[in-house]
Structure 1
Amino acid sequence: MFGRYRDTFHQESGDIMVETGSVDGLLTYRRRCEGQTFERILVSKTGEIVINPVEPGSLPRDITDFLLMEFPPMMIEPGATQTVYLKFPVEIGVFIESARDIEVLDIFGLGTQKYTLYGPPAGGVIALYCRSAIYPDIPPVEFYREGVMELSVQNLSLEWMEVSCAVFNSVDMKIYYGDFVATSATMRIISRTLAETDFVDAPLRPGMEKAVELNRARKIPVLNRGHLMEWGH
């Protein structure tokens, strides 16, 4: 299903159907996902439809740019670095692209989304919540529902640190896809309350295709990369 399409096409997988076709003489995009439908008339001579995984947080509407990953606690000694693998929720973006512009046409996904507050009520942030087991190697995933996050955790402090969650600004997220959907991230622990997180712009495996980023299609400039966790990890 992921890829580029011109004119009419039909793709179907399980509870997902995406297609373009002629309806009353007009080129029309139609999507069905778990019983929910979406339709738009397209007026284009040269445009392409691009379908790929996108950074999560836009469903059921555009709620937040933050993703909170919770996982079983890890104790990390001073100066140590550990790479682990997590599963994160995948959303699917559909874009309409021409030589001069690209625009978001549709975003959908399988399952339901959960949101939580990270930090105090007065100054915290709403984040998409995901709980994952920790895997020493790349785990199998349900293709259109979840992806693999490679997370490198580094303890820069002089003390043993316990870490059980990581909060990311998903605007910075770099997603690649092939046999599975993947992203790579880093977490640098500074103290018991502070940590820096960021994404790495590189495929998890050679040959993976880079997905179109939502901020590019929405014309959102990324001014500051990474996120500073101020309320514990």
Structure 2
Amino acid sequence: MQELFGRHKVQAGSEPLEITFCDQKIVVGEAAGAYSYKRYSAGALAAETTIISDKDGGIVVGIFPIAPLLTPKRVAKNVYIKFKSPIIMDQRSDAVVYAKIPIEIGVYRQSEDEELLIDAFSLSPQRYALYGSPEAGTVCRLAESETSTTEEGISVEKYTEALIRIRISNGIDNVIKISKVIVPMDGIVLDHAQDDTWVPGGVDVRLDMAFGKDIVNVRANTKVKRSDKTSIVRREETLAFMMDAGY
């Protein structure tokens, strides 16, 4: 079975490229000396772009899983993972759990040394939640998830969800209950293989105490560029979020 995520070449004079994700159909083909990109949602035209290229060898369109931040528009930079079953941890202990988050699908026009996002869509409805107070809280993309201590214990739906590994370190002298984690996602580049998707490296959640108050730091390591894209700039960053409104 052909993988849908990856780089797809459209040759001049060839049949149009057609890729279908559930009720979303992508069609890329020649049109009046250029190339047309069209996406149909449940049969209706949802997005359209004209791609002009003077290259004789055709064009390359990249289709990849992306962080759930762009549809219907960019309103959040973080994902609020609400655990369906809370996690109880002993004092001064460490644990690794697995969960899942929603993803979106990004379509890129790619060339030798750069790329441009031309479309983004989601196969699942978007849900949002406020973390913190109404006056100073943070709007997040909401994800409710089961948790497991093994990868095999989490069932991840292709094209809709990604697996995430969460390392939790309880550095305080109390038994704690964790029911949610806020994960910074702005800049996260998801990995994929055989159309399965996961967050690379995982997320570190550290609970400490300062001045008599619990402090929760969340750190996510992210690759700015994916190895199967053509952009030549590649570096790694660490995204951070302080959960100061409870966990």
Q: TM-score, normalised by structure 1?
A: 0.84
C-alpha RMSD of the superposition:
2.6
Partner of 1:88: 101
Query: What is the CA distance between 1:35 and its match in structure 2?
Result: 4.9
Deviations 1:68-114 (A, max 9, x none): 00002111112211111111101001111223432111110112111
How many correspondences in the alignment?
221
Report whether the alignment pairs 1:5 with 2:8: yes
Select the residue among 7, 23, 26 that pairs with 2:31: 23
Query: What is the CA distance between 1:133 and its match in structure 2?
Result: 1.0
Query: What is the CA distance between 1:44 and its match in structure 2?
Result: 2.1
Deviations 1:36-61 (A, max 9, x none): 62110101235521110001121111
Runs of 4+ with deviation above 4 angstroms: 209-212, 221-224
Q: Secondary structure at the match of 2:239?
A: coil
Select the residue among 133, 140, 149 that pairs with 1:127: 140
1:92 and 1:108 in contact (8 A); partners too: yes
- Which runs of no fewer than 5 residues in structure 1 stay unpaired? 203-208
Q: Aligned ranges for residues 1-233 of structure 1 at < 5 Å?
A: 1-7=4-10, 8-35=16-43, 37-46=46-55, 47-71=59-83, 72-138=85-151, 139-179=154-194, 180-183=196-199, 184-191=202-209, 193-201=214-222, 225-233=239-247
Moved more, 89-98 or 168-177: 168-177
Moved more, 191-200 or 94-103: 191-200
- Which runs of no fewer than 5 residues in structure 2 stay unpaired? 11-15
Deviations 1:156-178 (A, max 9, x none): 22222211100111114241111
Which residue type is aligned with residue 72 of structure 2?
A: P
Larger Rg: 2
Identity of aligned residues (%): 21
Which residue type is aligned with residue 207 of structure 2?
A: I
Query: What is the CA distance between 1:193 and its match in structure 2?
Result: 4.4
C-alpha distance 13-229 of structure 1, shift in aligned 2 (>3 A): same
